[in-house]
A and B are shown apart, each in its own frame.
Chain A
Amino acid sequence: MLRELHVKSKMENLSVISEFVASAASEFGLDEDQTFAVLMAVDEACANIIEHAYGGNSDGTIDIRCELHNDEVVVKVHDHGKAFDPQSVLPPDLAAPLDEQEERCLGLYLMFKLMDSVRFEFDEVKGNTLTMVKRRHGVKPAVCA
């Protein structure tokens, strides 16, 4: 099973992306909690692409592909924006005092917490591909950035 969406890199398209992901996740048999997790992870990923990879330029492209492989829903998000090093993004310190909470890199952290696996690939020619997996059943292993 495969569903695809191609949109421009505009924040206004986040709601379109969300509807697409919710529909695909439901079609692929994820329950409501799992669907919410995938929806949030993809929303955070696409917001990052629009804001950081494309620097707010709304002419960029975002291609989203949802596939079902056995009991895994695989979401691939592809763009041609600026690459980044995920290792350079520090995970938030959950025990940090309130004064430091605002500066945390929450979006990326949440993506890793919400999905069963998250992988970034950067290619100057082919573009950037983010692959995230959510298992339909079973216990989520502890995966963190």
Chain B
Amino acid sequence: MFEIVGKQLRRVDLIELHGRIDSNVAAQLEESFKAITEAGRFRIVVDMEKLEYVCSRGLRALIATLKETRRWNRGDVRLCNVPPRIQGVLDLAGFTPLFKIYDNTVDAVGSF
């Protein structure tokens, strides 16, 4: 099972990831991020509370979007509610230092 729930808040796009992101569905994640940045919105919070698994292609989608949003200092991708196992994958991939990571959604959204 995999689901992306997107909410456009006043200053931020909140993306909730549910379930399992493998290579079969990672393209949907890429498209969701692309839809936001192509609409000219570059402040994104990714809520990972319900995320059970993310493959390397899903991780690459996160990094690609991070690069896109930070260009010309116009925004950022910030993570919150990262489960320990997903945090472990971010650590292994060397991505933890690249992202600002928050304990909860309120802090992540409020950080912008």
Chain A at the B interface: mostly helix, strand, loop or mixed?
helix
Question: B-side interface residues toward A, CB under 8 Å?
Answer: 20, 22-24, 53, 55-57, 59-60, 63-64, 66-67, 70, 85, 88-89, 92-95, 98
A39 to B66, CA, bound (A): 27
B92 close to A114 (CB less than 8 A): yes
B64 close to A50 (CB less than 8 A): no
A94 to B94, CA, bound (A): 5
Question: Which A residues are in CB contact (< 8 Å) with B92?
Answer: 110, 113-114
Chain B, Cβ-Cβ closest to A46: B23
Of the listed stretches A9-17, A61-69, A77-85, A129-137, chain B binds A9-17
Question: Which A residues are in CB contact (< 8 Å) with B70?
Answer: 98
Question: A-side interface residues toward B, CB under 8 Å?
Answer: 11-12, 14-15, 18, 33, 36, 39-40, 43-44, 47, 50-51, 92, 94-95, 98-99, 101-102, 106-107, 109-110, 113-114
